[in-house]
């Protein structure tokens, strides 16, 4: 796609988002497979600039997984596949002892040796500086001048319980084209039963508030406004009430309550005839639907009408057309690469979004259709609960924790458009 790495053919940019929590639960198997397939993507597309945004770095037990994180980073930096990337910036939020700051986000940036004119913004000095050498920053990200990192305010968290949610922002300049890259992790749905109660759900409102907070922060008056890409685990979900009503339109609902509290414990949807066959069983952490094919057929696009959370930001955020199945929650059984877990309603949680001005950069008239890819990979083999994405041509079969990849090839360095 990119051909030889020459300036005449433009600059290939690869953006990847990956919730990598699974990798640190079983590093001997999952991590090796993840890295092998990741390197294949790099070798296939040969990007000049590569940005990898990771969430849940270290997995559930970060303190115990610290050594696995270190080995993961060392492997990335020393691998043969990455040897032509002469400049690297790695930002890892490893300060797990600071509850009010810890996000478990990790942002990796790799610059190919052929790309000469690239700078990174210093937010404290308020100026761009040339990128040289390889640097890894961790634990003290709050004082690192080349990024902005924030955990969401505590009152944004459901029930004010801390969790690892927030964002990291960096700013880059390729020649005279400046843009922001924002790594983000938003709140999940804690209970399927609560999500079902109303449309839109209370969780959707929490995510909307947090995403609005991020957009306001990265477009405020402190710095010049530039195009931005926001990519990460947004935890966007289908509108639970509406999608269940659609999937179970001819079913009758039975409510099961807990004996001690009388609270709803389970909802069972049965067909009116056909021996009252169970169509869907819904519990706090159970979404057991009778026919998972509906989420896979035609890449699940018939359900996109229920993917509504981004619509609130239609004037501020844009996305390329989705043509891949819901990215979450895939089975973590390695023999069930196409199977969803019966924990949540499948949804497109992991996304790459962009501002209007960033979209103008991407959708330049001279860009060929094949120059821009937004897709996923790995339909057959699973090693995590999110899927991986690639571009250009059909990739090897794989299932990793979610990666989305967008490839942008400029015919020349574009100037920053007016905001």
pLDDT digits (tens, 9 = 90+) for 354-408: 999 999 888 766 555 456 778 775 555 544 555 544 332 222 222 222 344 454 4
- Which residue carries 């120059």 as its tokens? 371
pTM over 0.85: yes
Question: Helix %, strand %, coil % for the chain, to 5?
Answer: 30, 30, 45
Alpha-carbon gap, residue 387 to 324, rounded angstroms: 10
Alpha-carbon gap, residue 224 to 221, rounded angstroms: 7
Q: Residues 61-81: what's their mean pLDDT? A: 89
- Percent with pLDDT over 90 in the chain: 60
Q: Under CATH, domain 11-237+291-409 is a member of which superfamily? A: Endonuclease/exonuclease/phosphatase (3.60.10.10)
Q: Residues 238-254: what's their mean pLDDT? A: 96
pLDDT value of residue 186: 97
User: How is residue 388 annotated by DSSP?
Assistant: B
Cβ-proximal residues to 305 (8 Å cutoff; 6+ apart), any chain: none
Q: Residues 259-271: what's their mean pLDDT? A: 94
Smallest CA-to-CA distance from 294 within 332, 243, 254 is with 243
Residues 173-205: tens digit of each pLDDT: 998 899 999 999 999 999 999 999 999 999 999
Q: Is 126 left (phi over 0), alpha (psi -120 to 50) or beta?
A: left
């Amino acid at each position: 796609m990119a051909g030889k790495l020459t300036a005449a053919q433009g600059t290939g940019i690869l953006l990847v988002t990956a919730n990598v929590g699974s990798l640190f639960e079983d590093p001997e198997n999952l991590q090796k497979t993840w890295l092998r397939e990741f390197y294949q993507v790099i070798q296939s597309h040969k990007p000049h600039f590569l940005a990898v945004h990771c969430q849940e770095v270290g997995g559930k037990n970060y303190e115990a997984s610290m050594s696995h994180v270190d080995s993961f980073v060392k492997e990335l930096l020393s691998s043969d596949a990455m040897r032509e990337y002469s400049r690297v910036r790695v930002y890892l939020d490893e300060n797990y002892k600071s509850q009010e700051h810890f996000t478990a986000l990790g942002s990796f940036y790799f610059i190919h040796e052929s790309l000469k004119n690239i700078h990174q913004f210093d937010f404290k000095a308020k100026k761009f500086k040339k990128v040289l050498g390889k640097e890894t920053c961790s634990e003290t990200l709050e004082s690192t001048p080349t990024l902005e990192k924030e955990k969401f305010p505590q009152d944004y968290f459901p029930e004010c319980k801390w969790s690892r949610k927030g964002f990291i922002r960096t700013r880059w300049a390729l020649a005279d084209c400046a843009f922001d890259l924002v790594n983000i992790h938003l709140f999940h749905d804690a209970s399927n039963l609560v999500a079902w109660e109303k449309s839109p759900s209370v969780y959707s409102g929490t995510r909307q508030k947090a995403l609005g907070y991020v957009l306001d922060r990265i477009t405020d008056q402190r710095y010049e406004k530039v195009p931005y890409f926001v990519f990460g685990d947004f935890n966007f979900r289908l509108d639970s009430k509406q999608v269940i009503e659609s999937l179970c339109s001819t079913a009758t609902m039975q409510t099961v309550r807990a004996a001690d509290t009388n609270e709803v414990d389970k909802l069972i949807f049965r067909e009116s005839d056909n021996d009252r066959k169970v169509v869907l069983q819904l519990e706090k952490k159970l979404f057991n639907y009778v026919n998972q094919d509906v989420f896979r057929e035609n890449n699940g696009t018939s359900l996109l009408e229920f993917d509504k959370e981004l619509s609130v930001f239609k004037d501020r955020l844009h996305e390329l057309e989705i043509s891949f199945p819901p990215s979450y929650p895939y089975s973590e059984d390695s023999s069930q690469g196409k199977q969803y877990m019966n924990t949540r309603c499948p949804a497109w949680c992991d996304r790459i979004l962009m501002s209007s001005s960033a979209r103008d950069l991407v959708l330049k008239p001279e860009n060929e259709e094949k120059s821009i890819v937004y897709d996923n990979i790995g339909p057959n083999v699973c090693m995590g609960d999110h899927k991986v994405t690639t571009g250009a041509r059909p990739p090897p079969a794989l299932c990793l924790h979610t990666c989305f990849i967008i490839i942008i090839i400029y015919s020349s360095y574009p100037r920053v458009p007016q905001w």
